[in-house]
Structure 1
């Protein structure tokens, strides 16, 4: 039985994840973290029958009880500290929170490897977002000119999203030489060319933040006289992220170090 702590248990994904863990074979909810719902039963707080787990106000408090895996769906400014604290406490970690980059993950990987533990992180745990990454990486081997448009709601605190950032970093490692004029040579307002993400020279990412969007990510490829667009659109429900997160919880038990991207687990 895998004992799971959910940090961000009353958030958008956490509210769907808690019932799924409670109902899943081989998993048990061992802890939950939510500052706004601290002291409540973790099941009752998300609208299901009580599960006998009291929500803690901090991850440090939740780690006082025995557990195996910490799942983090919190905030960009908290996730790195949570992951490092969980690893230091001997827990494996599944990271669903966005906001971390390659340098952050290098530090996390070193900490996990030193402890002999595993961390699975994905910018997006949905299967269609995973396929977006898979197909885009295939296309980049043949079409070097690629840019990413990242769409999210107006209140999203980080840019780009974890989905777009993970995709850009992966593409930057395999794409050929772009034919676009380097952003540093652009006149006018260079910032309108977006930001380069990933290994230099990187992939240009353009982040839009507008009402009515949940999350969309678009990889655009161009060749003379032809274009290819690969796009993922998320709906209003967190349900698509649950199955991938449950898979990661199970798989992280056999991992040492860091695995980034659900695509590295589905095969």
Structure 2
């Protein structure tokens, strides 16, 4: 069976890599593409490949008028939730690569997906090596309770923390034991410099740096008396690392009802 895919954010950084990759798969076909700034143009030509006959739509609603199976969203934080809910309402499975959603947003998406009996896979990072970083950090958190996350990204990134760091911190908060650090409420000076707690319970402190020259990096720092462990992932300037993970999610999302967060849920 051919999986018919609608690509929202088709002319974005990751979208430009995914459009030709989807077309090259024997079990997938591009059914629609969304980019408001490039509406009316051929999606193949826009990403530097031969014309593919798929005209870019100005809105997701327009793209979903054509039969399809899966929406892949790599757009903007203020668009992704509405996109996901619309696609779910129309009976499509959804793969979310856009960051910026919180626990409440994911709860609404999960409820809608279950009500409509479709699957949603959302990951802060679809890179295989970033997924391994999360897995190794969760292994360490079972033995080392003190952990904080540093999130690095370019100066113009609109959301903080990144989806990678947020997903990691939320997962760490669910498995690690109580921190031995002084509670932020007891810190004098400028308590905000201790970062923000992300995740359930006391959460995990996350520090977001936004500086030129960074693409996306994420560190989980663990500490015990007289020893430290750092687990870090660095992304390069190419979107290629995110393609394989997204293609895996497209192939597996129909097996799910409701929301699954993190590519690691599919790796085994």
Same fold (TM > 0.5): yes
Partner of 1:209: 210
Partner of 2:125: 124
Q: Which runs of 5+ in 2 are unaligned?
A: none
| Distance (whole Å) between structure 2 residues aligned to residue 102 and residue 140 of structure 1 | 21
> Could you tell me how far 1:254 is from its partner in structure 2?
1.2
1:151-182: per-residue Cα shift (whole Å, max 9, x none)? Answer: 00000000000000000000001110100011
User: Which secondary structure does the structure 2 equivalent of 1:172 belong to?
Assistant: helix
Partner of 1:29: 30
> Could you tell me how far 1:212 is from its partner in structure 2?
0.5
1:224-262: per-residue Cα shift (whole Å, max 9, x none)? Answer: 000000000000000000000000000001111111000
| Distance (whole Å) between structure 1 residues aligned to residue 76 and residue 202 of structure 2 | 29
* TM alignment of 1:111-260, pairs within 5 A: 111-260=112-261
User: Which secondary structure does the structure 1 equivalent of 2:255 belong to?
Assistant: coil
> Could you tell me how far 1:200 is from its partner in structure 2?
2.1
Q: Which runs of 5+ in 1 are unaligned?
A: none
| Distance (whole Å) between structure 2 residues aligned to residue 21 and residue 4 of structure 1 | 8
> Could you tell me how far 1:4 is from its partner in structure 2?
0.1
| Distance (whole Å) between structure 1 residues aligned to residue 140 and residue 42 of structure 2 | 47
| Distance (whole Å) between structure 2 residues aligned to residue 107 and residue 200 of structure 1 | 21
| Distance (whole Å) between structure 2 residues aligned to residue 179 and residue 25 of structure 1 | 52
* TM alignment of 1:7-156, pairs within 5 A: 7-156=8-157
User: Which secondary structure does the structure 2 equivalent of 1:78 belong to?
Assistant: helix
| Distance (whole Å) between structure 2 residues aligned to residue 25 and residue 181 of structure 1 | 55
TM-score, length of structure 2 as denominator length: 0.99
| Distance (whole Å) between structure 2 residues aligned to residue 257 and residue 153 of structure 1 | 33
User: Which secondary structure does the structure 1 equivalent of 2:175 belong to?
Assistant: coil
| Distance (whole Å) between structure 2 residues aligned to residue 132 and residue 101 of structure 1 | 21
| Distance (whole Å) between structure 2 residues aligned to residue 172 and residue 158 of structure 1 | 21
User: Which secondary structure does the structure 1 equivalent of 2:208 belong to?
Assistant: strand
> Could you tell me how far 1:103 is from its partner in structure 2?
1.5
Output the aligned Cα RMSD: 0.5
TM-score, length of structure 1 as denominator length: 0.99
| Distance (whole Å) between structure 1 residues aligned to residue 267 and residue 51 of structure 2 | 33
| Distance (whole Å) between structure 1 residues aligned to residue 20 and residue 144 of structure 2 | 43
> Could you tell me how far 1:30 is from its partner in structure 2?
0.1
User: Which secondary structure does the structure 2 equivalent of 1:19 belong to?
Assistant: helix
| Distance (whole Å) between structure 1 residues aligned to residue 205 and residue 122 of structure 2 | 22
List 4+ stretches of structure 1 deviating above 3 A: none
| Distance (whole Å) between structure 2 residues aligned to residue 94 and residue 155 of structure 1 | 25
1:166-217: per-residue Cα shift (whole Å, max 9, x none)? Answer: 0000000111010001111111111100000000210000000000000000
